[in-house]
Amino acid sequence: MNILITSAGRRVSLVRSFQSEIKKTGLKVKVFAADASPILSAACQVADAFFEVPHLDSPNYIDDLINLCLFHDISLVIPTIDTELLHLAKSKERFNVEGIEVVISSVEFVVKCRDKRLIHNFFLEHNVTVAKEYTKEDCEFPLFIKPFDGSRSVNTYIVRSRGELTEYHLNNTSLMFLEYLDHNEFNEYTCDLYYSRDHKLKCVVPRKRIEVRDGEVYKALTDRCYLNSFIKENFSYIEGAVGCLTSQFFVHKRNDKKIYGIEINPRFGGGYPLTYLSGANFSQWIIEEYLLGNTIDDKFDVWESDLLMIRYDDEVLVHGYKG
């Protein structure tokens, strides 16, 4: 009944949350972590145990991961990064045959989330406004450019005039040209949503992004604002959604009912520690559902609003490392 956090990297807080919740149950369960470079992964160092896996582009990645799960008696897998989601969603039945649960949404929903053009359509179907998309020949400035399949804010640009457009922008078919939503007018929120095994929304925690570093929130504030009830109303059920979904919205500063949907990532986000520490215990609920077979009730009111998170760097030391 051991648990595995894949592509663990720096997700120390996520590993520790599962360790803490397992300890409360009294179960003899270890929390493993896996990474392509586990010795250099802080999360692997704080896990109960770790192992090395191939890079995601290896044709043996899924086979090796299943074999390692069987060898280490792992029955629950928690994905963490965008590039592994589709691999794991497509292989979910292969894991199930071996008695291993992967907390991952359906292939169909993961495909929508990985393609920002498709997730825009999804938002519109759920009564959520999205930024206008321009053609490269006919666009208004300033505009925001991002890849339709990107993550961590990599390869994104704010372009304020046509003279700033480059051949790279114009010739790269993966880039979307979008209406620019000015941070002077909009607050940016990342919301953690928990979906039970029957695809029903059980909790939502809006987190106002105050400061971001390298695409990951660095300072944030929980906020029981209108966005909270808006998501409850419009996302109460999502076909194929399970576990933690991290969704991004822009909310107008003077009119909180003016909401733009940006993206959804069907995985734990880097800001989940704030959600967890506010009282929305997704880690416990996953253990309850997937290891103990319990049903999760609605948890919309369990978390603390106006809780500020200020992150800082810490050190993990590995003795005897030869490099």
pLDDT in tens, 44-60: 999 999 999 999 999 99
Architecture of the structural domain at 110-127+183-310: 2-Layer Sandwich (3.30)
Q: Which two tokens stand for residue 146?
A: 């991002």
pLDDT for residue 110 is more than 90: yes
Rounded distance between C-alpha atoms, residue 160 and residue 179, angstroms: 11
pLDDT in tens, 142-187: 999 999 988 767 889 999 999 999 999 999 999 999 999 999 999 9
Please state, in angstroms and as integers, the Cα–Cα distance from residue 171 to each residue in 13, 148, 177, following that order. 40, 14, 12
pLDDT in tens, 84-99: 999 999 999 999 999 9
Work out the pLDDT band at 68, boundaries 50, 70, 90. Answer: very high
pLDDT in tens, 219-261: 999 999 999 999 999 999 999 999 999 999 999 999 999 999 9
- Average pLDDT score, the chain: 96
Q: Which two tokens stand for residue 284?
A: 């416990």
- The pLDDT value recorded for residue 153 is 75
Work out the pLDDT band at 323, boundaries 50, 70, 90. Answer: confident
Task: State the CB neighbour count (10 A cutoff) for residue 267.
Answer: 25
Spell out the residues 6+ positions from residue 296 whose beta carbon is closer than 8 angstroms to its own: 194, 196, 202, 285, 288, 289
Task: Say which DSSP state 288 is in.
Answer: I
Rounded distance between C-alpha atoms, residue 170 and residue 192, angstroms: 34
- The pLDDT value recorded for residue 214 is 78
Rounded distance between C-alpha atoms, residue 45 and residue 320, angstroms: 13
Considering the chain, tell me which residue range(s) the CATH 3.30.470.20 domain(s) occupy: 110-127+183-310
Rounded distance between C-alpha atoms, residue 96 and residue 153, angstroms: 33
Q: State what percent of residues in the chain have pLDDT above 70.
A: 100
- The pLDDT value recorded for residue 154 is 83
Task: State the CB neighbour count (10 A cutoff) for residue 317.
Answer: 6
- The pLDDT value recorded for residue 13 is 97
Q: 2-104: what fold? A: Rossmann fold (3.40.50)
- The pLDDT value recorded for residue 45 is 97
- The pLDDT value recorded for residue 215 is 77
Read off the pTM: 0.95
Mean per-residue pLDDT, 188-211: 98
Collapsing DSSP to helix, strand or coil, 222 comes out as strand
**Phi/psi of residue 304, each to 5°?**
-90, 125
Q: State what percent of residues in the chain have pLDDT above 90.
A: 95
